[in-house]
Amino acid sequence: MKRRNRALELAGLALVVAMCLSYVLFGGGRAVLAQPAFYAIDVFIDSDDAPLAAWQIEVSDRAGLALLTGVEGGEHGAFAEPAHYDPRALKNHRVVLLAYHLGEDCPVGRTRVATLHFVQERAGKPSFKARLVTAAGPDGRVLAARVEIQP
């Protein structure tokens, strides 16, 4: 009798382990992609006719499928270096980026300030959204700028 109970306990334990492994391997019920999908998203800020010296934005994947893998700088020399970001925010499928330029040659109008690279390992469609936290000119005054993202 004890041998049979022990066999049932081991079978139950094996079932629990198999269920836990399938949850981890298959993303909690979401299908894992056979090949990861990669996305590059360009981030633009339009400051109209004012020079842009500093900015902070938040980019998120509302679907929770894409993970940030890299940040590239922008097209203008003022923001050619990759923007700074908060690594703690990456846990929530979002990234908070910021950059500033102390020189006098600031971009005016619409300019690409960064390119973000993401990887997607689970099935579904990411839903990227960008929000401008703030933008400022060389004098420190807040600008009425707009942010736009393009795949």
* Rounded (5°) CA angle 37-42-44: 155
Beta-bridge partner residues of 66: 120
DSSP letter (8 states) at residue 117: E
CATH T-level topology, domain 32-150: Immunoglobulin-like (2.60.40)
pLDDT at position 51: 97
Give the highest mean pLDDT range of 8-22, 42-56, 83-97: 42-56
pLDDT value at 8 more than 60:
no
pLDDT at position 9: 57
Handedness of CA 50, 133, 95, 46 (dihedral sign): negative
Least trusted range by pLDDT, from 3-12, 58-67, 95-104, 112-121:
3-12
Indicate the pTM of the whole model: 0.75
Beta-bridge partner residues of 40: 117
SS3 17: helix
User: What is the maximum alpha-carbon separation in the chain?
Assistant: 85
Among 1, 88, 96, 121, CA closest to 43? 96
DSSP string, 7-35: HHHHHHHHHHHHHHHHHHHTTTTSPEEEE
Q: What mean pLDDT do residues 117-142 have?
A: 93
pLDDT at position 36: 86
Q: Between 58 and 90, whose confidence is greater?
A: 58
Query: Given strand 84-85, what is the order of strands in its sheet?
Result: 84-85, 94-100, 54-61, 128-136
Among 113, 37, 101, CA closest to 71? 113
pLDDT at position 1: 53
